[in-house]
């Protein structure tokens, strides 16, 4: 058997600077590539997924992809599931290398932060802003033409980021706006849209137009990972320490691994997949510390983070189960008596211990399809020469990129802009009308 490795790849998006590979599990690496589809097809599916999933009639407005961060390579589709988690699943189940960058982990943390702010917007208001309700943030872009796929949307994201910074406490935007050695324009855009998502409770965003696992690759320097550690700790000040305190030992291992001090036992627990029948590729539920990147599950604090005793008890039972599964005496006795009714009843309790279920410990069995898609979304009201349009700015994990030579899987970060085909909400229109009147009075019109 070949030893699969965890590779710390220290890199800029366009040019690799350094890398560190360390072994994780002794499995035979995959030799065949996963099926890939054109990048545009994956993004189009994300833009139109509401149409596919809503089941509404033909008269319902149809979303239309307006623009996205174009890339020349194909992606492995994830069919609406979270690309980071699917990458880990494919690497785990099919013995494939895995690449991870500081940007990916920071984006996961920011998306968790945004979910926290969204769930507790009013309680957290005093941490971020001094105003009540929502403040209109307005960007004027006369160079935008509807449907122009080459329009520089990241410039708009940055303008909104700057305006958010002007209205929020001084540390919020600098904390979110990480700049690792791996951070490029696409990653920066994803951070900014995620910031907009987090601040949507406090702001209305308007743009006006008055004219037409064999191995894991951690990308970045040790300094990047140490900086990510520091920033993650600062998220705790927003009544989020119940999450960030649990993350600190996890993020510490990223930093240590980037320095060549990879803890194999720790990294083997990155992604675990428990099933009714143990084996690679079987359907089941996610365990392992990847679950700690999701502070909310079904709109409630994730019990895998908050219920520490239950989690410890579950993993103790799981370790005992692994011992039973690997005990040749137990296996021989079960096989020998499998056809005897009394024996089947006798061994039922043993079988149950061999496959502990999270539900028995008060924990949810987290299925990949039930996790967030990995996209942050911010509504944008576009005043297009007086015609008001409802857009969505989306950014985050969009798919999986596959290395043609090594078959390593790399979660892909990008952004997209969707013209929903709908009118802005009455609430948003009323707030914008009020803001326009205030601007007219201020200008003496």
Average pLDDT over residues 400-419: 93
Residue 349 in this model has a pLDDT that exceeds 70: no
The predicted pLDDT at position 100 comes to: 94
State residue 282's pLDDT score: 41
- pLDDT higher than threshold 80 for residue 206: yes
pTM: 0.74
Q: What is the pLDDT of residue 327?
A: 58
How does residue 240 score in pLDDT terms, banded at 50, 70 and 90? very high
Cα distances (angstroms) measured from residue 298 to each of 98, 196, 282, 365, 366: 28, 22, 24, 12, 10
**256-294 per-position pLDDT tens digit:** 999 999 998 899 888 887 765 544 444 478 888 899 999
For residues 273 and 286, the answer to whether their CB atoms sit within 8 Å is yes
pLDDT at residue 213, as a whole number: 80
**Could you give the CA distance from residue 198 to residue 193 in angstroms, rounded to a whole number?**
9
Answer for the pair 273, 285: CB distance below 8 angstroms, yes or no.
yes
| CA distance linking residue 51 with residue 60, whole number of Å | 9
- Looking at residue 59, what DSSP letter applies? T
DSSP letter, residue 369: G
Per residue in 54-113, pLDDT (tens digit) is 555 456 678 889 999 999 999 999 988 999 999 999 999 999 999 999 999 999 999 999
Question: How much of the chain exceeds pLDDT 90, in percent?
Answer: 57
Q: How confident is the model at residue 216 (pLDDT cuts 50, 70, 90)?
A: confident
Q: Please give the angle made by the CA atoms of 328, 330 and 336, to the nearest 5 degrees.
A: 100
**Higher pLDDT pick, 76 / 333:** 76
Q: Which pLDDT belongs to residue 13?
A: 44
* DSSP 8-state symbol, 244: H
142 backbone φψ class: left, alpha, beta (φ>0; ψ -120 to 50): alpha
**What is the reported pLDDT for 257?**
94
- The mean-pLDDT minimum among 203-217, 219-233, 351-365, 423-437 falls in 351-365
Question: pLDDT class for 418, splitting at 50, 70, 90?
Answer: very high
| Mean pLDDT on 151-164 | 95
Band the pLDDT of 317: cuts 50, 70, 90: confident
- Kindly write down the DSSP assignment for every residue of 22-42, as one continuous string: EE----PPP-SPPP-B-HHHH
Give 1-50 pLDDT, tens digit per residue: 344 444 443 333 444 455 677 888 888 899 999 999 999 999 999 998 76
Say how far apart CA 22 and CA 262 lie, in whole Å. 7
Q: What is the pLDDT of residue 233?
A: 93
**What is the 8-class DSSP label of residue 405?**
T
Q: What is the DSSP string of 287-336?
A: ESGGGGG-SEETTEE-HHHH-HHHHHHHHHHHHHHHHHHT-HHHHHHHHH
What whole-number distance in Å separates Cα of residue 153 and Cα of residue 151?
6
What phi and psi values does residue 286 have, to the nearest 5 degrees? -90, 130
For 237-275, letters b (16+ CB in 10 Å) and e give ebebeebbebbeebbebbbbbbeeebeeebbbebbbbbe
Question: Looking at residue 54, what is its pLDDT?
Answer: 53
∠420-72-144 over CA atoms, to 5°? Answer: 40
Q: What's the half-sphere exposure (Cβ side, CA atoms, 13 Å) at 217?
A: 23
């Amino acid at each position: 058997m070949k030893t699969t490795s965890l590779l710390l790849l220290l890199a800029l998006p366009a040019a690799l600077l350094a890398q560190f590979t360390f072994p994780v599990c002794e499995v035979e690496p995959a030799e065949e590539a996963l099926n890939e589809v054109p990048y545009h097809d994956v993004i189009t599916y994300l833009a139109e997924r509401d149409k596919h999933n809503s089941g509404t009639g033909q008269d319902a407005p149809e979303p239309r992809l307006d623009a996205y961060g174009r890339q020349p390579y194909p992606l492995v589709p994830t069919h609406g599931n979270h690309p980071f988690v699917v990458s880990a699943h494919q690497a785990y189940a099919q013995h494939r290398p895995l690449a991870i960058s500081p940007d990916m982990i920071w984006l996961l943390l920011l998306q968790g932060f945004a979910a926290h702010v969204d769930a507790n917007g009013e309680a957290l208001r005093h941490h971020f802003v001094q105003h009540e309700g929502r403040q209109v943030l307005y960007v004027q872009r006369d160079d935008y033409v509807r449907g122009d796929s080459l329009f520089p949307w990241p410039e708009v994201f940055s303008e909104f980021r700057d305006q958010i910074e002007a209205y929020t406490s001084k540390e919020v935007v600098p904390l979110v706006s990480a700049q690792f050695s791996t951070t490029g324009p696409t990653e920066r855009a994803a951070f900014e849209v995620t910031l907009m998502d987090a601040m949507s409770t406090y702001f209305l965003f308007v743009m006006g137009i008055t004219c037409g696992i064999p191995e894991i690759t951690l990308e970045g320097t040790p300094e990047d990972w140490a900086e990510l550690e520091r920033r993650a700790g600062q998220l705790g000040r927003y009544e989020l320490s119940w999450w960030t305190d649990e993350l600190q030992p996890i993020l510490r291992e990223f930093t240590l691994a980037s320095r060549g001090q990879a803890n194999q036992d720790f990294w083997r627990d990155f992604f675990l997949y428990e099933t009714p029948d143990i084996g690679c590729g079987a359907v089941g539920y996610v365990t392992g510390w990847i679950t700690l990147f999701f502070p909310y599950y079904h709109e409630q604090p994730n019990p895998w983070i908050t219920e520490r005793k239950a989690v410890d008890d579950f993993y103790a039972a799981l370790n005992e189960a692994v011992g039973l599964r690997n005990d040749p005496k137990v296996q021989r006795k079960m096989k020998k008596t499998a056809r005897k009714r009394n024996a089947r009843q006798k061994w039922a309790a043993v079988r149950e211990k061999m496959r502990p279920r999270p539900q028995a410990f008060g924990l949810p069995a987290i299925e990949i399809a039930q996790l967030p898609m990995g996209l942050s979304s911010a509504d944008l009201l576009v005043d297009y020469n007086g015609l008001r349009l409802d857009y969505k700015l989306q950014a985050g994990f969009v798919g999986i990129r596959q290395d043609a030579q090594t078959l390593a899987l790399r979660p892909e970060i990008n952004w997209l802009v969707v013209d929903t085909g709908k009118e802005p909400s009455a609430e948003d229109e009323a707030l914008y009308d009020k803001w326009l009147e205030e601007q007219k009075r201020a200008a003496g019109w």
